[in-house]
Amino acid sequence: MKGFIDFIREQGVVGLAVGFILGGAVSKVVTALVTDIINPLLGIPLGAAKGLATASFSIGSAKILYGDMISVVIDFIVVALVVYYGVKAIGLDRLDKKK
């Protein structure tokens, strides 16, 4: 059992598992925050009446939907920040053994 515990601590499995679980758990909340609050606010200065996801520009007959990409990047950053500060607040970052 000691070998198994050492493997988990040395390989950073705890941090990976915590990040995966927390990332999945807060994903819907963060998506709602970005979709319902952040995107409409960013859409105002960008001229997208229905929010950031509809922001686009045209080149000839092609329509480039850059707003959706920005929305996904914002979503990722918010999820990453929540997971990072959540792990720090709980103190799980100290469970991994330092090499």
Q: Each residue of 38-97: pLDDT tens digit?
A: 777 776 776 655 667 777 888 999 888 887 788 788 778 877 777 788 777 877 667 665
Domains of the chain (ranges plus CATH)?
2-94 (1.10.1200)
Which amino acid is it at 99?
A: K
Contacts of 77 (CB under 8 A, 6+ apart): none
- Nearest to 22, CA basis, from 97, 85, 91, 98: 85
pLDDT, position 32:
80
Burial class (CB in 10 A: 0-12, 13-18, 19+), 34: buried
* pLDDT digit string, tens, across residues 9-43: 766 777 777 777 877 777 777 778 777 887 777 76
